[in-house]
Amino acid sequence: MFQLTAIYLTSAILGIMFFFSFVVAPVTFTTLNEENARKFIRNIFPYYYKVNLVISIFVTLIFVFIETFHLDFFLILSVAILFALSNYVLMPLINKYRDNNQDKKFKLSHFISVIINFLQMVILIIILI
């Protein structure tokens, strides 16, 4: 039962990530003007990261509870760590660089966040197969 719950929650994280990446973000930038899109993205990203962080921590704790420390445990743990890193380190840097018109640093840090997001999706797919 707990292992099935872990699979469902892992699927939920992946679904949230796909929806956000392929629906929310593109629609935001095609629907809202730049100023409002920026405000919206700055407000929704922390929720995105925190919700996925909480779910991934919960999945990690399920593995601890059922004493299953195989590859999936370490993969979901890495996903959780990357959500925390993205939310608490990378997002503040991205916002700071954007606010201070540090374009090169902004583009690099944003690119890193995109790579992390993609890597997390790949890891979640690996866990689910």
pLDDT digits (tens, 9 = 90+) for 25-62: 999 999 999 999 999 999 999 999 999 999 999 999 99
Burial class (CB in 10 A: 0-12, 13-18, 19+), 56: buried
pLDDT of residue 119: 98
Q: What gap in Å lies between CA 122 and CA 88, rounded to an integer? A: 22
CA dihedral 89, 90, 94, 96 (to 10 degrees): 10
Q: How many domains does the chain have?
A: 1
- Tokens 């392929």 locate to 22
pLDDT of residue 25: 92
Q: What gap in Å lies between CA 15 and CA 9, rounded to an integer? A: 10
pLDDT of residue 129: 95
For the chain, residues with pLDDT lower than 50 are none
pTM score:
0.94
pLDDT of residue 33: 96
pLDDT of residue 36: 96
Write out the residue range of the structural domain in which residue 92 sits.
2-128
